[in-house]
Structure 1
Amino acid sequence: MADQEQTNKPEEEQVELEQANEAETAETQTAEQAEQVEVETAEDRLVALEKELAAAKATIAQQQDSVVRAAAEVDNIRRRAAMDVDKAHKFALEKFVNELLPVMDNMERALLMADRSQEALAPMIEGVEMTLKSFVDGVSKFGVEVIDPQGETFNPELHQAMSMQENAELAPNTVMAVMQKGYSLNGRLIRAAMVMVSKGA
């Protein structure tokens, strides 16, 4: 009986040892599985974070582009507004000057038609000349320039040809006569000079 108990004891120890080994193996496997799950979860998180980072960078790039475009647009608007204000200052008098041109034309016609041989008219002619001169000087202070192209080459941007005549003494396309002077305001043509142009025989 004692022998039988002794024989059972090593078998029980061996069973216990095997059970302990199995439990340890199971714990090891469980720990490895847990580590593997943690590694997979960390990789998934890393991939997700990289995607979020890429999306954030794309959003920042778009916003930077929008900010640059908006700044450029504001700069363009400011520049256009400054140009408009400058043009308004330069050409605000255009309508007013257009109203004055017939007055100057009439004074010039009066001087052309005046009979300078009569001494009684001399003071009046002198007064009209002085008035016309002061008139021209006054408007020139505001950027008005007279276009009187007598003897110059015809320029279609500044002159309007009313007729052409053959003239052997002048080169072709030369202004022979000015029927009406032209005017410009700060470099912009207000009225073209009406001219007679020479042509070859």
Structure 2
Amino acid sequence: MDTEEKQTINKNIEKKDKEKENEKKINNISTLKSTNKNELNDLKEKLLNNQKKIHDIKLRHLAYIENIKKDSEIKIKNIKNIKKEEFFKKIIPIIDILEDTLSFAQKSNLDKESLVQGIQLILESLLKIIYKFGVKIEGKKNEAFNPKIHNVILTESSTEIQPDHVIQVTRKGFSFNNIIIRKASVIVSKI
């Protein structure tokens, strides 16, 4: 073999070696691409999962804050109602005094019409004010006796009133937000 042939063979061998090497590199690149693609997909999935977790945490915090707001509103409403109830408990004795004074003035034979009218106006005004706050008067003549709102001070026989019904209210009862502030003192017909 001459030198030229040897060179040609060597060149062919080198060429084949380079082709093999290039093929290996291409295979390595393909493998790397595939691996990188898988890693990228894994990272995307992790990112989505983390974003969902963050979203869930935000929602939980918003719900927690909303619950705190609602609880605070309820507590504030309860405190307001307690304070109103305390106010009404203090004002009810004034109503009693006015009613007693009015009753006394009406029963006495003194000509005190202007006194009676004045007391009536004061009493009506006071009652209108507490009605606006939601206070209800409990205890009315002819209603069925109810131990939750009535306090029996006397029982009497009556031909006009049904048995176990109120004949007379001696002291009005009061309720606020369905809570009895004071029971009505009543005379009830015997059973």
Task: Give the C-alpha shift of residue 141 in structure 1.
Answer: 4.1
TM-score (norm 1): 0.68
User: For 1:123-162, what aligned pairs fall within 5 Å after superposition?
Assistant: 123=113, 125-155=116-146, 159-162=149-152
CA distance in 2, matches of 1:65, 1:167: 71
CA distance in 2, matches of 1:180, 1:110: 13
Task: Give the C-alpha shift of residue 77 in structure 1.
Answer: 3.9
Q: Which residue of 2 aligns with 1:108?
A: 99
Task: Give the C-alpha shift of residue 27 in structure 1.
Answer: 1.3
Q: Does 1:37 align with 2:31?
A: no
Task: Give the C-alpha shift of residue 54 in structure 1.
Answer: 0.8
Which secondary structure state, in structure 1, belongs to the residue aligned with residue 110 of structure 2?
helix
Task: Give the C-alpha shift of residue 148 in structure 1.
Answer: 2.9
Q: Does 1:120 align with 2:120?
A: no
1:49-77 CA-to-partner distances (Å, cap 9, x unmatched) read: 11111111111112222223333344444
CA distance in 1, matches of 2:33, 2:163: 92
Answer yes or no: is the 8 Å Cα contact 2:166–2:187 preserved in 1: yes
Letter in 2 for 1:28: E
Which secondary structure state, in structure 2, belongs to the residue aligned with residue 93 of structure 1?
helix
Given the alignment, which residue of 20, 25, 28 partners 2:19? 28
Answer yes or no: is the 8 Å Cα contact 2:153–2:185 preserved in 1: no
CA distance in 2, matches of 1:109, 1:15: 139
Answer yes or no: is the 8 Å Cα contact 1:153–1:175 preserved in 2: yes
Q: Does 1:68 align with 2:59?
A: yes
Structure 2 gap ranges (5+)? none
Q: Does 1:93 align with 2:96?
A: no
CA distance in 2, matches of 1:96, 1:149: 24
Answer yes or no: is the 8 Å Cα contact 2:144–2:165 preserved in 1: yes
Answer yes or no: is the 8 Å Cα contact 2:168–2:186 preserved in 1: yes
Change (3 A) 1:22 1:194: farther
Tell me which moved more, 148-157 or 161-170: 161-170
CA distance in 2, matches of 1:141, 1:88: 18
Which secondary structure state, in structure 2, belongs to the residue aligned with residue 190 of structure 1?
strand
Which secondary structure state, in structure 2, belongs to the residue aligned with residue 178 of structure 1?
strand
Answer yes or no: is the 8 Å Cα contact 1:166–1:199 preserved in 2: yes
Change (3 A) 1:154 1:60: farther
CA distance in 2, matches of 1:127, 1:177: 25
Given the alignment, which residue of 37, 40, 57 partners 1:46? 37
TM-score (norm 2): 0.71
Answer yes or no: is the 8 Å Cα contact 2:139–2:169 preserved in 1: yes
Q: Which residue of 1 aligns with 2:171?
A: 180
Give the % identical residues.
Answer: 22
Structure 1 gap ranges (5+)? 1-7
Change (3 A) 1:138 1:28: closer
